[in-house]
């Protein structure tokens, strides 16, 4: 190994006591490949097995906590106990490769396709349509429904414990339901669930509290809880960097195992709410102030870029698209073969890389998402 990359391979212990062999995380990525009934498919398991060797943590694609929260076709569910056997297969497969297995849990809110939701009943904090579902005005959730969804996050956490996962990641990013409650653009409520920033935090923090309560009650082993968030929104009156830094300050005081920022580019600068003297990641790390570890992510392909992300003070660095293109990334860096790391895809790579058909079709059908060469 090139000595300069040793920081990537230092071990790390999460607050819960879970020990990581290195600082590399497989980022959560949708693959659209579950069975039609929402159970985990053989194809998904094989996809994770191919990528779990070497990384410290695998965070799965998001799983819905309740049936009306399904955000994608081909998304696996964790909304009933019937899903536990499939979840157990997935957790076991990841852990057998040596990685810590974390289940990302979420509700899609207004971003759920109507055809995937019972009765097409799309719900959110308020009745603000999304650009994705522009013709669908979501129904604002009632008080008792919000409380039920909070409990659903707890029940899904219990299932994750029973299935053998090492932890859960609460998905509060990418415009999904938790972010819809936090954002002033999508939360126009005037009850206890909306209003000023403190009230808009009520639902996300209730989910965190419930997940932690369930862990304390049901986990008889170290079990991690992380939280993922997006730092800014492009919409008018959306989340600003200042809002996010206040969110980070609150979350950093809740004894979570980590905070995971969702970024397309780890070096990107703030647009609104903080100056450009530092990257978004650096602002977030500095605000967390060492109270809770931060995972940095966003267009990390080379070990040099991974090292640069760590140098911001982030404790861990997540690789997403890069691990799809190069499942052996960690091994090649560890063995001093970083010059062999693939940073592009060939149109003939699908079978070799064990990429499920639905994910492959999306990659091929979205020019610019991945660097594809002939």
Residue 347 neighbours by CB distance under 10 Å: 11
CATH number attached to the domain at 3-373: 3.20.20.70
Mean pLDDT, range 342-370, rounded to an integer: 95
Q: What is the mean pLDDT of residues 101-127?
A: 97
The C-alpha atoms of residue 72 and residue 107 are separated, in whole angstroms, by 11
Q: What is the pLDDT of residues 219-276, one digit of tens each?
A: 999 999 999 999 999 988 999 999 999 999 999 999 999 999 998 888 899 988 889 8
Average pLDDT over residues 303-322: 95
Residues marked active site are found at 176
Share of the chain above pLDDT 90, in %: 92
Residue scoring higher pLDDT (178 or 266): 178
pLDDT for the residue numbered 246 = 97
Domain ranges of the chain: 3-373
pLDDT of residue 134: 84
Mean pLDDT of 318-344: 97
State the average pLDDT over residues 165-183. 98
What pLDDT score does 140 carry? Answer: 98
Confidence of residue 132 (pLDDT cuts 50, 70, 90): confident
pLDDT at 307 over 90: yes
Predicted pLDDT at 66: 97
Q: Which band of pLDDT confidence, cut at 50, 70 and 90, is reported for residue 209?
A: very high
Residue of 289, 334, 330 whose CA lies nearest to 313: 289
The CA-based diameter of the chain, rounded to the nearest angstrom, is 57
Return the higher-pLDDT residue of 139 and 297. Answer: 139
pLDDT value at 14 more than 80: yes
Cα–Cα dist 245/287, whole Å: 6
- Please tell me the predicted confidence (pLDDT) of residue 4: 95
pTM for the model stands at 0.97
Q: What is the pLDDT of residue 187?
A: 98
Is it the case that residue 351 has pLDDT exceeding 90? yes
pLDDT score for 228: 98
Provide mean pLDDT across the span 151-165. 98
Mean pLDDT of 45-72: 97
Examine the pLDDT at 109 and tell me if it is beyond 90. Answer: yes
Over residues 137-153, the mean pLDDT reads 98
* pLDDT above 80 for 374: no
The CA-based angle 343-349-352, given to 5 degrees, is 110
Within 13 A of 78's CA, how many CA atoms are on the CB side? Answer: 29
Is the C-alpha dihedral spanning 322, 324, 326, 329 positive or negative?
positive
Average pLDDT of the chain? Answer: 96
Higher pLDDT, 1 or 78: 78
Q: What is the mean pLDDT of residues 65-79?
A: 97
Query: CA–CA separation, 117 vs 218, rounded Å?
Result: 30
Q: Which pLDDT score, from 0 to 100, does residue 150 have?
A: 98
Q: What pLDDT does residue 297 have?
A: 87
Task: Tell me: pLDDT of 183 over 80.
Answer: yes
Predicted local confidence at residue 343, as pLDDT: 95
């Amino acid at each position: 190994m090139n000595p300069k990359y040793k920081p990537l391979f230092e071990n790390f212990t999460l607050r819960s006591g879970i020990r990581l062999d290195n600082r590399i995380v497989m980022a959560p990525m949708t693959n659209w490949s579950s069975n039609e009934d929402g159970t985990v498919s053989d194809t998904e398991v094989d996809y994770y097995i191919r990528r779990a060797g070497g990384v410290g943590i695998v965070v799965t694609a998001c799983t819905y906590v309740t049936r009306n929260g399904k955000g994608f076709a081909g998304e696996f569910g964790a909304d009933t106990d019937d899903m536990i056997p499939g979840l157990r297969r997935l957790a076991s497969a990841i852990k057998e490769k040596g990685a810590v297995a974390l289940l990302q849990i979420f509700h899609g809110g207004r971003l759920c396709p109507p055809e995937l939701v019972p009765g097409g009943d799309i719900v959110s904090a308020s009745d603000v349509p999304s650009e994705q579902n522009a013709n669908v005005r979501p129904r604002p959730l009632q008080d008792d429904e919000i409380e039920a969804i909070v409990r659903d996050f707890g029940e899904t956490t219990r299932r994750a414990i029973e299935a053998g996962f090492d932890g859960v990641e609460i998905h509060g990013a990418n415009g999904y339901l938790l972010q819809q409650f936090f954002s002033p653009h999508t939360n126009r409520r005037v009850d206890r669930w909306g209003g000023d920033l403190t009230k808009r935090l009520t639902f996300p923090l209730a989910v965190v509290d419930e997940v932690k309560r369930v862990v304390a009650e049901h986990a008889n082993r170290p079990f991690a809880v992380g939280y993922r968030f997006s730092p800014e929104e492009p919409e008018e009156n959306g989340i600003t960097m200042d809002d996010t830094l206040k969110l980070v300050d609150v979350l950093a005081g809740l004894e979570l195992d980590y905070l995971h920022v969702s970024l397309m580019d780890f070096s990107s600068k703030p647009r609104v709410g903080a100056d450009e003297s530092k990257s978004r990641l650096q602002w977030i790390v500095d605000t967390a102030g060492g109270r809770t570890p931060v995972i940095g992510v966003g267009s990390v392909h080379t070990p040099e870029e991974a090292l640069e992300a760590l140098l911001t003070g982030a404790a861990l660095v997540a690789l997403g698209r890069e691990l799809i293109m190069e499942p052996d990334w960690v091994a090649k860096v560890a063995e001093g073969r970083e010059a062999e790391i693939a940073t592009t895809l060939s149109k003939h790579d699908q079978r070799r890389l064990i990429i499920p058909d639905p994910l492959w079709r999306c990659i091929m059908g979205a020019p610019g998402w991945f660097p594809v060469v002939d």
